[in-house]
Structures are given as C-alpha cells and as structure tokens.
Amino acid sequence: MADSLREAVRDQLGLGRLLPLGEAKDGAWIAETAVAAALRPAAARVPGIELRSLRLTLADPEVWTDPAVTPPASALPPGPLRITAECAAVLAADRSLRDAADALRSALFEAADLAVGLEVTAVDVQVTDLLESAPPPAEEPAGLAAPVVHRVHGELHMELPLDGGRVLDTVRQLRSTESTNAAVLVTSLR
C-alpha cells in the first residue's frame, strides 16, 4: 500500500498542477505539463523571445465553482486561470521589451484558448534576462496520431495529440460518448 501511494505521489508531481479544463459541468482537468506542451510552441513562434518557465494558477483563489464530478486528488477547482511566464528577450532597436512581452502575452492567451480551451483571464509576463541574439527555432516534437484513453480508479486518463484540435472539444466529445460521471484527466499532449 505504501509503495503504491508513493508511486501515485511521484506520478502526480511529474504532472504539475491539475488545472480545470472547461466549465465546472465538464468535469475535466488537465495536467500543467500538458498545458505547457501546448503553449510552448506558440511562445517559440514569437520572434526574439525564449520562454523559460510557465506557471498556471487560479486567477483569483476566491472565485471558483464546485465541480460536477469528484475531482482528481489535489486538482484546482474550476475557475478562471492566470498564466505567469518568465522569458528572456532580445533587446532590439525596432521593438521594445514591452512590445515583446505583449506579443508573448497574446500568443499565450490565444494558444490557451484555441489549442486547449482554458479559461484564462490574465497572463503575466516577466522578462528575466536579455539575449544578444534570437534563440534558434524550436523543433516540433513528434506526437501521437490519435487520442489514447485509460480508465484508472473511476477517472478517465487521456493522452491527446498536439495537433488534434482543441483539447476541451475532444474531452467534451469523449464525455458525451462515454456517458460517465468520472472526472476526465488529460495527462499529456504529444
């Protein structure tokens, strides 16, 4: 029993925070590491920016709703999210650091909505370092060809391809076909 508990804790720590996906009625959560996998390519397309870290939290810890299903252990409750991004930026004559930060903020807002389906109400960007030259373009990771679904202890665990459409739409479609009251947890996007 103790070994399985330790293993479960290790697995949870590897996923980062479990973030609400969609509305309370959707009964879905997504691992912070999966969100980062969807947001990093969008950040990499912003010229002169190198994303160093991403953190997602509730935008206001006092504003949340009760989920429709029992959430996974340690999951944040459904509510609007805040993204905090730390980055390095090239100091360029034709673009201010503020403009670079605004471009990153816009890219993260857009990817959070269009690629994942997160309700994000704030994106804080902190430029923590200056670069002498632009970072090389990021390589696109090889990914899954189709969703993979696992049932574990009353939860649906999903792995979704990065280019498979908006994650929230896929989760809603799965919930409608599975007819389940279990929580859906998206663990990775590849």
Cα–Cα distances (Å) from 37 to 3, 132, 163, 179, in that order, read: 29, 26, 11, 28
Q: What is the pLDDT of residue 148?
A: 56
Tokens coding 174: 């799965």
Q: What is the pLDDT of residue 144?
A: 40
Question: What pLDDT band is residue 6 in, cutting at 50, 70 and 90?
Answer: very low
**Average pLDDT over all residues of the chain:** 83
Question: What pLDDT band is residue 190 in, cutting at 50, 70 and 90?
Answer: confident
Cβ–Cβ < 8 Å for 90, 48: yes
Look at 125 and 9; give whichever has higher pLDDT.
Answer: 125
- Residue 38 burial (CB < 10 Å; 0-12/13-18/19+)? buried
pLDDT in tens, 65-77: 999 899 998 899 9
Look at 146 and 82; give whichever has higher pLDDT.
Answer: 82
Cβ–Cβ < 8 Å for 122, 63: no
Residue 147 has pLDDT above 70, yes or no: no
Cβ–Cβ < 8 Å for 160, 145: no
Q: What is the pLDDT of residue 140?
A: 56
Cβ–Cβ < 8 Å for 72, 183: yes
Of 2-6, 27-31, 120-124, 147-151, which one has max mean pLDDT?
120-124
> Number of H helices and number of E strands within the chain?
4, 8
Q: What is the pLDDT of residue 12?
A: 54
pLDDT in tens, 19-56: 999 999 999 999 999 999 999 999 999 999 999 999 99
Q: What is the pLDDT of residue 17?
A: 93
DSSP 14-34: HH--EEEES-GGG-EEEEHHH
Q: What is the pLDDT of residue 145?
A: 42
Residue 108 has pLDDT above 50, yes or no: yes
Q: What is the pLDDT of residue 83?
A: 99
Domains observed in the chain: 17-189 (3.30.70.1350)
